[in-house]
Structure 1
Amino acid sequence: MKISLTNAGKRFNREWIYRGVTLELTAGNAYAITGPNGSGKSTLLQAIGGMLQLSEGSIGYESSHRPSAIGNQKSEIRNQQLGDEEAYKHISFCAPYLDVIEEMTLTEFLEFHRQFKPLLSSFSIKRIVEEIGLEAAAAKQIRYYSSGMKQRVKLAQAIFSDTAIVLLDEPCSNLDAKGIALYHSLISNYCKERLVIVCSNDPVEYSFCETVFSVTEFKKQ
């Protein structure tokens, strides 16, 4: 997968949150968006994920696939431009402001979620629950979870979805030291071939990212 931003800008009323964002983000790499509180990090990430419309410029999504070979002849990898509705299928998102369905148990919630976005094929729901260390609470309604437990659920929803793009906004919110270690383990084990974008002020959350840029670089007026 590849995401291309060309002169992307977002404005609320007369105030430009960011402008002139031109980036190319590719699978197999991890990127971090940094910047002070209120600088527009989350707004940029939401636009990348298709949750907010740009005020100017464009965002393009491109997938790569290899058509079936005929006989012994090797086929070339082909790139395909995706529309917004098609791109949605390739994107998972984790953020503290996104809610989970608290009336459901963890098992019910993951079952419900995979009706809309398939989970990684080699993972049963039981295994996912074990991976995030919530076996003892799997049959408990999520409303009774601590804030840290709920954040583990949000991480699982994003990372174990069968998507090529994983967007993470302040992914360690409400996590203790053990939860932060789990987060890094999940990234290391299951996100190496994907396109990962982390939005954060805390280096602990994006220490694995090869490319770091600040949204303040795009504060043109």
Structure 2
Amino acid sequence: MRIEAQGLGRRYGRQWIFKNLSHDFRPGTATAVLGPNGAGKSTLLSILAGQLLPTAGAVRYALGGQPLPVAEVPRQLAYCAPYLELPEDFTLLELLAFHTRLKPLRPGISTANLVDIMYLQKARHQPVREFSSGMKQRLKLGLALYAAAPLLLLDEPTTNL
């Protein structure tokens, strides 16, 4: 999936978080966004994910060389961030069954494989609300890393691990 950011800027009130950011994110490449706290890294990822509108500039998406409407971006996106909420009333197996109906896992990965990969075997029948912060982060990472999605966005992926 290709993302083209042109002249992006975001401000809150009168304070610009970042201005005039342009970059062409091409399929098959990895990009790291570095900066101090408050530099706008999470804000930028939210804009690229289509969850937040920029104050200035534009974001264009393409999949397979064809333009992709912003409304379709969530279907093509796997996203992991410590501030993303999980449905905490579900058990792990219930959450995985629900989530994988909306966003399938990569070919060759089953729900049972994913539970093993995340080292959450003993928590299969436990409500997510009872998980430690580290267990929740492993769950978020597993869902993102093993999703059948052409775009992966990771915001502070090692937080709480």
TM over 0.5: yes
Q: Select 1:86's aligned residue among 72, 78, 82.
A: 72
The CA distance in 2 between the partners of 1:30 and 1:92, in whole Å, is 14
1:106 aligns with 2:112: no
Which residue number in structure 2 is paired with residue 150 of structure 1? Answer: 136
Q: Secondary structure at the match of 1:151?
A: helix
Question: Residue by residue, what CA displacement relative to the aligned partner does 1:145-182 show, whole Å, maximum 9, x if unpaired?
Answer: 1111110001012112211111111100111xxxxxxx
Which residue number in structure 2 is paired with residue 8 of structure 1? Answer: 8
Equivalenced residue count is 161
1:48 aligns with 2:34: no
Which residue number in structure 2 is paired with residue 164 of structure 1? Answer: 150
Could you list the runs of 5+ residues in structure 2 that have no partner in the other structure? none
CA displacement at 1:24 relative to structure 2 = 0.6
Question: Residue by residue, what CA displacement relative to the aligned partner does 1:186-218 show, whole Å, maximum 9, x if unpaired?
Answer: xxxxxxxxxxxxxxxxxxxxxxxxxxxxxxxxx
The CA distance in 2 between the partners of 1:88 and 1:108, in whole Å, is 21
Contact 2:17–2:38 (Cα < 8 Å) also in 1: no
Could you list the runs of 5+ residues in structure 1 that have no partner in the other structure? 65-78, 176-221
Contact 2:77–2:151 (Cα < 8 Å) also in 1: yes
Using the aligned pairs only, state the percent identity.
Answer: 40
Which residue number in structure 2 is paired with residue 18 of structure 1? Answer: 18
Q: Secondary structure at the match of 2:102?
A: coil
The CA distance in 2 between the partners of 1:22 and 1:38, in whole Å, is 19
Q: Which runs of 4+ in 1 moved over 4 A?
A: none
The CA distance in 2 between the partners of 1:140 and 1:88, in whole Å, is 28
The CA distance in 1 between the partners of 2:74 and 2:133, in whole Å, is 27
Residue type at the aligned position of 2:12 = F
Per the normalisation by structure 1, the TM-score is: 0.70
Q: Select 2:109's aligned residue among 119, 123, 134.
A: 123
1:97 aligns with 2:83: yes
The CA distance in 1 between the partners of 2:44 and 2:61, in whole Å, is 15
Question: Residue by residue, what CA displacement relative to the aligned partner does 1:44-71 show, whole Å, maximum 9, x if unpaired?
Answer: 111011110011111011111xxxxxxx
Q: Select 1:133's aligned residue among 109, 119, 122.
A: 119
CA displacement at 1:115 relative to structure 2 = 2.3
> Which protein has the larger Cα radius of gyration, Structure 1 or Structure 2?
1
Per the normalisation by structure 2, the TM-score is: 0.95
RMSD: 1.1
CA displacement at 1:9 relative to structure 2 = 0.9
Q: Which structure is richer in relative contact order (CA contacts within 8 A, separation 6 or more)?
A: 1
Q: Secondary structure at the match of 1:170?
A: coil
